[in-house]
Structure formats: structure tokens, C-alpha cells
A and B are shown apart, each in its own frame.
Chain A
Amino acid sequence: MCTPEHEDVGLVTRIRGGDAVAFELLYDKYKRPLYQTALAITGDRGAAEDVVQDCFVRAYRAMDRVVALGSLSPWLHRIVVNLSCSRSSRDRRWLTTLDAWLERIAAPGPPPDQAAEQVEVSEIVRQALDGLNAKQRAVIVLFYVQGFSLADLAFILNCPVGTVKSRLHYACKAFRERLREDKRLAGEIIYGT
């Protein structure tokens, strides 16, 4: 059975040969995590769509130059993070769009009490994330949500592993401070007590 990494290598070979179906398979494979990362950094669905679209167009153009030895996920995330950060610094919008909230309210989910708690925690976390800059948001989302290793983060953020650790440390520190300012959250997580 073909591993995901080897699958990506095969896809790259086929895309280089002009196989449009292979490129669509690559898109289907990575569209959601890339979109989630872009949405987490930009905070705007329209911006995230633009970023993902631009990412795949750039990836297609650079397909001849990419060295495909394993998964393309770090490489694609690197493009998305760069596009999202540049876009976020240009047009900083970390706003909860109305349709996102409507979708959440309309979607069937857990019992009302649990759902209310989940929504409140989500709101607190999102607001705390909103207080960070784009790079700090990126490192937190990539590490905690997308589950990348520090080595992958070093590649994605184009910096040494030590710098990644430092960025993650300060991002977590800033994130905790934002959470501390919100009185709705229990203290044991924030203060570590």
C-alpha cells in the first residue's frame, strides 16, 4: 500500500507529466487543512479562499522545481502561511463572520448545555488568538491544531528550530495572557495551578 508521502511523490511526477487529475487529487487531499490554517491566520473566510486559491496556483507553477521526497504538506503550508501572513499584515481582519456563527448555531451538535459551553470556550480561544499577531497565530495553529513537528515548523516558517521554539514559547505566553484577561475561563489552565 502506498504511504501518503510516497503518494505525494507519485502525484508530483504525474502533475509534471501534465496529469490534471493528479493535481485535482492533490487539491482534494490538502484543501481542508490548508484552508483551516489560512482561516486561522487571516480570520476571514474570503481571504482564506483567496489564499488557498493562490497557494495552489503557485504550487502548480512551481511543480517543476519542488523536490518531492515526502509529504507536500509542509511545502504547501509554507506557501499558505506566507500568503496569509502577508495578507493579514496588509488587511488585518480577525473578525468572526456572521455566516460562520450562523452555521455554528444551525448545525446539529451536542446537548444545549454542552454546546453552550463549547461555543463560549471557542469564542474565548478565538478572541485570545485574535490578540496575537499573524506569526504567533500561525505557529500556534500549525503546532497545536495541524500537529506539525518542530522540524516541519522550521521548514514552514523558514527559520531554525531554535527560533521556532522561541516563537512558540512567546506565542504561548501571549496567548495565556490573553486568556488570563478573560474572566470566563477557569484559572487552572491559564495559571497552571
Chain B
Amino acid sequence: MVHKPNGRETLYQDPIDDDLGSLVRWGLEDTFAEASPPDDLWPKIRAQIEAQSDTKPVSHAGVRRRSLSLASLVQTVVVSSLVLAFVLEVDRTGSSSPRPSADRTPVVEHSIFDSGPPRDIPRLRPVADPEPQQAVHRRMGGATQ
């Protein structure tokens, strides 16, 4: 089915172009007039549409959008975790760095002090070591033994 161009077009009212149009129409009429899609094309189209309706392309887009937001959420969580871990690591590393000895000395001294013998246990004295003479206290003006 070949149509004639609308006569309202003013640009191509030139007789040369009219002849050209006639030639094109006449030449292509034989080629395209009988051209028609095969009968089995419509079942193909219907099958493709039904297949796409079954898979629901709209919901696919929704799933894609949802998965995209989920991915960004996971990404955010992972990045946040990494940043947090890095900060904690830095903090831990900073606290385990060597400090001035004055900070640690009391702990050591305390442990040494604690490891000593209890104060309430009486000391044993060797036999050879006589008991030291007690100092005679002389009272001024007292009697002499």
C-alpha cells in the first residue's frame, strides 16, 4: 500500500521533485506493496510480551533498585566498620607505646614490697650471735650495782 504525499506540502511542489516522488513511488511500489510480515510474527510478539509480563520487568527494576540501595547500605556498614577498626587500632597502638618509667615504677615497687616477708613474723636469731647487751641506762643520781 503506497500513499501519495500530502498535497499540502509546499516545499516539494517543484515538478522535478514531483517526478522524483513519482519515480520513487512507482519504483518501490513493486518492492514494498506486497511486502508484509509473516503470519508467525504476531505469535512471536505475543509470546515475548507474555514472557516479559511473567518476569515482571517493573518489579525487576524495583529489585534492582532495592538491591542497589542494599548494596550501598552494606558498603556504608563495611566502610564504617573499617574506619572504626582503624580508629580503635590507632588508639590501642597509641596506648601501648612505651611510657615514662615513672609511670610503671610504683607497680614494680609494690610487687617487690609485697613479695617480702610479712612484718609480723619474728625474726630468728642465730645462737652464735648473742643477744646484744641491752644498754644500761643509768639514771642520773641512781644507785650503782
Contacts and interface: CB of A to CB of B under 8 A. Distances in A.
Contacts of B135: none
Contacts of B26: 118, 121, 125
A155 interface: no
A81 interface: no
A147 B9 CA distance: 11
Interface string B14-33: 01110111011111101110
B37 A189 contact: no
Given A122-B31, A145-B25, A56 B19 contact: no
B35 A39 contact: yes
Interface residues of A, number: 49
Interface string A83-110: 0000000000000000010011001000
A107 B27 contact: no
Given A32-B1, A165-B11, A192-B19, A60 B28 contact: no
Interface string B24-56: 111110111011111001101110110010000
Contacts of B1: 32-33, 36
A157 interface: no
Contact of A53 (B9, B12, B25, B48): B48
What are the 6 closest A-B residue pairs judged by CB atoms, nearest first?
A125-B27, A147-B3, A192-B16, A36-B32, A144-B24, A35-B37
